Amino acid sequence: MQFNISFDVAGSPDLGSLMSCEQQAILDTANAAATIWSWYLTPTNVTVDLTITVDNSLFSGTTLAEGGPANFIRTGADFAGKHVYESNTAVELRTGVDRNGSSADLDIGLTVNSIRNMMAFETDDYATVRAAAMTRFRSFSMRLGMILVSCT
């Protein structure tokens, strides 16, 4: 399996507020983490499309990021009279069928503040910080953990 990671340029009104090195650091870290995720998720030949949105109106305070499946698909089953839904990403990983085509399977939402003030590291020991970031990023199967950003 592989990941296709990109910024949602049209849906990211604040992407331009980031320096190009910050944007590249986010993509580099996400791609490195995705490589690790692919070792554990499934051996099927699927490509999971992950988009990153940078929008300062998404959240505030101490929230680091928002993330999750891009949409949910009705399973055809009912429970207690209600329709049952499953994330499009789970369906794709389990069956290999990409029911939403080239649309995003996973979304991550970030703000400029969360990137610069809560996820940035300035250190001489780059390898240690990168390893720590990668370890946390690996846990994204539930939520986004951390992004390493270093522009010097």
Task: Confirm whether pTM is higher than 0.95.
Answer: no
Contacts of residue 67, Cβ cutoff 8 Å, sequence gap at least 6: 106, 107, 108, 109, 140, 143, 144
Helix (H, G, I), strand (E, B) or coil at 73: strand
Give the pLDDT means over successive 10-residue stretches in the chain (152 positions): 94 94 86 84 84 93 84 91 90 87 90 79 48 48 39 48
d(CA 48, CA 45) in angstroms, rounded, equals 10
Q: Which of 101, 100, 97 is nearest to 46 (CA)?
A: 97
- In the chain, what are the domain boundaries? 2-141
